[in-house]
Amino acid sequence: MKNLGSMLGIETSCDETAAAVVAPDGKVLSNVLDSQVDVHALYGGVVPELASRRHVETIESIVQLAMTEANVSYHELAAIAVTHGPGLAGALLVGVNFGKALAYSLQIPLVAVNHLKGHLASTWVEHSDFPQSSIMLVVSGGHTHLFYAAGSGHYQLLGKTIDDAAGEAFDKGAKMLGLSYPGGPLIDRLAQAGKPGTVHFPRPYLTRGGLDFSFSGLKTALLYYLRDMKKSNSVMPSIEDLAASYQEAIVDVLVEKSFRAVRKYHAKGIAVVGGVAANSRLRERMTERAQHEKIHVALPSLSLCTDNAVMIAAAGWAQYRLGDIAAWDVDMDLGQASELMYSSACRDNG
């Protein structure tokens, strides 16, 4: 009975069907994932209807696999944590209803986890010593949010993107460069062989906008650059140099704004989470800067950056301990709750 009272985490907010089991002491007992990248790559982006269908097809076997790999029986679960939003409606419905039905049949508590809180919680899975009073940056396909974390579970929103998320900037830029979906990891790989100073793309909002971000202008700058180069029959830089230059503009803004927040709030640490936290240049620059500023840096390992269910189970444990249990009529939440939770009064526009 060594695993008595574990948390099953379920994540289906976008294009990954994920399940994981985490023990009460935070030990990760399993981490299973079905990626739908191949399904959506054909269309150049996530097709919501196809995502939901694939979740329906795979969720049962993914959850079963997570339980088997963890060597935990259903009766040894303390609770089930499931992502209830934000995300794609049809995709969320699959996980929420599966989790709800399973928890109800086992008569154990269900914990409804906000996807962003899940990404934030991924920090403490591997960095249990990450200090309170830190700055945390969530950078994914759907979010670019900067938080002040008083401690695990207590977050104050300082700023966010006013248009595209950083992951969207990567993916849309990659599409313009003729790369497939999702383009973030491809830009990252190509950029490693390129020179970041080849083309100077704008650093939107770097000197204004407080701690908010904006990436749509950068995307447009790449579009116009490619168009003008073609029109004038100029010799185009290599794809590696273009990728490195474009990536550098995104990374510059993310690093500068994060450390502006670090200084302003006298933060003891910086954490970067979400899919874009897997970016090698961002990891390198954040680490260098944190060392220079002599503060703690926490970057989740790559499998915990992109969507996964370990982070949902970890956030689930924090909520469970606070008695934050969902009612049986809990529904998906398309994002309203997350915005309400971090009221605009908390936003930092200075």
194 contributes a contact to ligand KG4 by CB under 6 A: no
Mask for 222-261, x = binds ligand KG4 (CB under 6 A): ----------------------------------------
Nearer to ligand KG4, 190 or 297 (CB): 190
When asked if residue 140 is in the footprint of ligand KG4 (CB under 6 A), the reply is yes
Minimum gap (Å) between residue 185 Cβ and ligand KG4: 4
Cβ contact 9:313 at 8 Å: yes
| Closest distance of CB 44 from ligand KG4, Å | 12
Contact 243, 177 (CB under 8 A): yes
Q: Where are the alpha helices (DSSP H) in 183-335?
A: 184-191, 216-231, 239-264, 280-293, 302-305, 310-321
Q: Which of 278, 309, 310, 318 binds ligand KG4 (CB under 6 A)?
A: 278
Q: How far is the CB of 168 from Zn ion (least distance, A)?
A: 12
Residues 146-175 that bind ligand KG4 (CB under 6 A): 167, 170-171
Question: Which candidate, 324, 303, 276, places its Cα nearest to that of 139?
Answer: 276
Min separation Cβ 43 and Zn ion, Å? 20
Helix (H, G, I), strand (E, B) or coil at 13: coil
Q: What is the DSSP letter of 111?
A: E
Taking CB under 6 A as the criterion, the residue among 22, 121, 276, 309 binding ligand KG4 is: 276
Question: By C-alpha distance, which of 4, 1, 9 is closest to 304?
Answer: 9
Q: Which residue of 212, 241, 307, 333 would you call a contact of ligand KG4, by CB under 6 A?
A: 307
The residue from 14, 146, 190, 315 that contacts ligand KG4 (CB under 6 A) is 14
* Strand intervals (E) in the chain: 6-11, 16-22, 28-35, 77-85, 110-114, 134-139, 144-151, 154-160, 269-273, 296-298
Residues 140-199 that bind Zn ion (CB under 5 A): 140
DSSP β-ladder status, 16-22 and 154-160:
unpaired
**In the set 274, 309, 310, 319, which binds ligand KG4 (CB under 6 A)?**
274
Reference 121, options 108, 130, 111, 110; nearest CA is: 130
Does residue 275 touch ligand KG4 according to CB under 6 A? yes
Residues 6+ apart with CB under 8 A from 10: 18, 19, 59, 63, 80, 81, 82, 83, 95, 98, 99, 309, 312
Q: Which of 99, 184, 194, 196 binds ligand KG4 (CB under 6 A)?
A: 184
Residues 22-51 that bind ligand KG4 (CB under 6 A): none
Binding site for ligand KG4 (CB under 6 A): 14, 140-142, 167, 170-171, 182-185, 188, 274-276, 278-279, 306-307
Binding site for Zn ion (CB under 5 A): 140, 307
